[in-house]
Amino acid sequence: MKKYGYEVVDAIVEHFDTQNEKHPVALASRKEMDNLFLEQAPENPEDAHKVLDFVLKNVMTKSNIVSHPKSYSFVPGPSNYISAMADTLATGFNIFSGGWAASPAAAELEIVTLNWLLKIFGFPLKKGGGIFTSGGSMANLTAIVTARRIKCGDNFSKAVIYLSDQAHSSNIKAIRILGFKKEQIRIIPTDIEFKLSLNKLRNAIAKDRLEGLQPFCMIATAGTTNTGTVDPLSELSKICKKEDIWFHIDGAYGGAAILAKNGKKLLKGIEKADSLTVDPHKWFFQPYEMGCLLVRNSKWLKNTFTETPEYLRDVEGNESEINFYDHGVQLTRRFRALKFYMSIKTFGLKAFRDAITYNIQLAEKVEDLLRKSANWEIISPATLAVINFRYNPIGNKLSEDELDELNQYISEKIVGSRKALLVTTVLNGQTVLRMCLINPRTTLEDVKETILLCNDFAKEKYSN
Ligand code: PLP
């Protein structure tokens, strides 16, 4: 067991040590993967080291490196070694993090680390609470179930929910999972800065009230996935308060910016949410999977999710001993709090603040760099470490369709080269390149090299 374990640890350490020199992109077709792996479940054993060698050689090398400095797309996963080891401990000891009786220490660490987060986000410390989830999608789902339970009880046939056209798809997915009909969902348009339009929201709520419907939940975003935009949180909180609407904020990727001075300002009003999604496996540098939902009143979760089957009768415990299976969907849960606890204890919050501050400034430097070039156009400015831009040389005679095709081509060539993960998104109908720079391992030099590569591919296509 020790030899096997050391081999695993050696491989992980080597990965941390050498990942920057590898290609971040792994490309493989289904056929290639089938050729490597497809087989019947073996009836007989094989040497454990042989299986491990095969996995290290073939499995771990055929995945994108999400913590690579040139992995810019989606939301990167800049993990840290302490948390990876903490996860190994949690798995090795197979700690059941559902109820107090099974692991008082796991429940206590979840309470302690949730309290850290409540304080960071300015939520009420005594009444507030939360739960760690698999990720942001599960946190958003948990929030919307809770909002519906608390605001509508069992009768939600007239309930209406509001979100912007820039809200993350996990929200609409959650709304659909919960069985809401199309007529109960309002997608509110955003303005030129991709912020939810307050007037359009007010009008929508007024119209729904006139029709006898029940506006019950508003989902704002603090750091949209596309552009890093923060919705007008303070104004939205006032509208929600006045209208008695649940105010949920999805800060899955952007919320962590509260630790940095330059992020905190942008996130003003986040403390007013009834519920808040943050995703420690994004900008809190935790390995997958770790999401989090914070609520102003932990009773809301308890009142929404508690079931009392006879087989759990003996472990219910008292009021102060939280059973996290009563705060969300999962009964059996892994011990997510451990990695958060150990990494924050080990590095200190200041290291997190410094890393996030660095990321926000890096994106601003990238914006400056691109603005100085005659080839590049900024489509949305650096906000919470996200920036969107496209190749559009001054004086060119390309149509919008040709520009879309050109920027799609640049992305495909870059990804095809495996040297950087840089994919497109669509903003105002334009195909643009999007960089999410939340990895503290990424340097300005890395970005410069990537832009140079983009320039080369653009010229190759442009000259044809
Ligand atoms: N919300 C936002 C704003 C996101 O950016 C994301 C993921 O990128 C999610 C929710 C979904 O989170 P997860 O992928 O952890 O489920």
pLDDT in tens, 392-436: 999 999 999 999 999 999 999 999 999 999 999 999 999 999 999
What mean pLDDT is reported for the chain? 97
What average pLDDT does range 343-369 have in this prediction?
A: 98
Nearest atom in ligand 1 to the alpha carbon of residue 75 is 8
- Return the residue whose CA atom lies nearest to atom 5 of ligand 1: 225
Nearest residue by C-alpha to atom 12 in ligand 1: 136
Q: Is the pLDDT of residue 332 over 70?
A: yes
- What is the Å distance from ligand 1's center to 440 Cα? 19
| Residue with CA at minimum distance from ligand 1 atom 10 | 136
Task: Evaluate whether 87-347 and 350-462 have a shared fold.
Answer: no
Ligand 1 near 164 CB (within 6 A): no
CA of 225, closest atom in ligand 1: 5
CATH of 350-462, picked from 1.10.3720.10, 3.40.50.920, 3.90.1150.170, 3.40.50.300, is 3.90.1150.170
Q: Is the pLDDT of residue 42 over 70?
A: yes
Q: What percent of the chain has pLDDT over 70?
A: 100
Extract the tokens encoding 401: 């369709």
CA distance 87 to 94: 10
Q: Residue 370 corresponds to which tokens in the numbers above?
A: 């691109």
Q: Which protein residue's CA is at the shortest distance from atom 13 of ligand 1?
A: 136
Per-residue burial over 403-435, b if 16 or more Cβ lie within 10 Å, else e, is bbebbbbbbebbbeeebbbbebbebeebbbbbb
- Whether ligand 1 lies within 6 angstroms of the CB of 136 is answered as yes
Question: Mean pLDDT across the stretch 86-90?
Answer: 98
Asked whether residue 319 carries a pLDDT value surpassing 90, the answer given is no
User: Is 87-347 CATH 3.30.420.40?
Assistant: no
pLDDT of 57 above 90:
yes
Q: Is the CB of 147 under 6 A from ligand 1?
A: no
Instruction: Give the pLDDT score at 356.
Output: 98
H-helix segments, 161-287: 169-177, 198-210, 233-243, 261-264
C-alpha 75 – ligand 1 centre gap (Å): 8
Which atom of ligand 1 lies at the shortest distance from residue 251's CA?
3
Q: Kindly tell me if the per-residue pLDDT of 165 is higher than 70.
A: yes
CA of 138 to the centre of ligand 1 (A): 9
- Does the beta carbon of 75 lie inside 6 Å of ligand 1? yes
pLDDT at 463: 74
| ipTM higher than threshold 0.85 | yes
For ligand 1, whether the C-beta of 132 sits within 6 Å is: no
pLDDT digits over 370-397, tens only?
Answer: 999 999 999 999 999 999 999 999 999 9
The pLDDT, as a whole number, for residue 76 is 98
The response to whether residue 77 sits with its C-beta less than 6 Å from ligand 1 reads: no
Average pLDDT in the 182-196 region? 97
Q: Tokens representing 157?
A: 């046939």
C-beta of 255 in contact with ligand 1 (< 6 A): no
Q: Give residue 70's pLDDT.
A: 98
Substitution candidate for ligand 1 out of 278, 279, 288, 438 with most atoms within 8 A of CB: 279
Is 291 near ligand 1, meaning CB less than 6 Å away? yes
> How many C-beta neighbours within 10 Å does residue 216 have?
22
Q: Which helix (H) or strand (E) holds 185?
A: strand 185-188
CA of 387 to the centre of ligand 1 (A): 17
Q: Is the pLDDT of residue 464 over 70?
A: no
Question: What is the whole-number distance in angstroms between the Cα of residue 174 and the centre of ligand 1?
Answer: 12
pLDDT band at 462 (very low <50, low <70, confident <90, very high): confident
Q: Is 137 in the pocket of ligand 1 (CB under 6 A)?
A: yes
What distance in Å separates the CA atoms of residue 222 and residue 225, rounded to the nearest whole number?
9
As a whole number of angstroms, the distance between CA 119 and CA 98 comes to 24
**CA distances (Å), origin 203, targets 188, 207, 419, 448:** 10, 6, 48, 45
**DSSP characters over 325-385:** GGSSS-SS---THHHHHHHHHHH-HHHHHHHHHHHHHHHHHHHHHHHHSSSEEEEEEEETT
CA of 48 to the centre of ligand 1 (A): 37
The structural domains of the chain, with segments of one domain joined by +, span: 2-66, 87-347, 350-462
Summarised one tens digit per residue, pLDDT across range 201-257 is 999 999 999 999 999 999 999 999 999 999 999 999 999 999 999 999 999 999 999
Nearest CA to ligand 1 atom 8: 75
252 CB within 6 A, ligand 1: yes
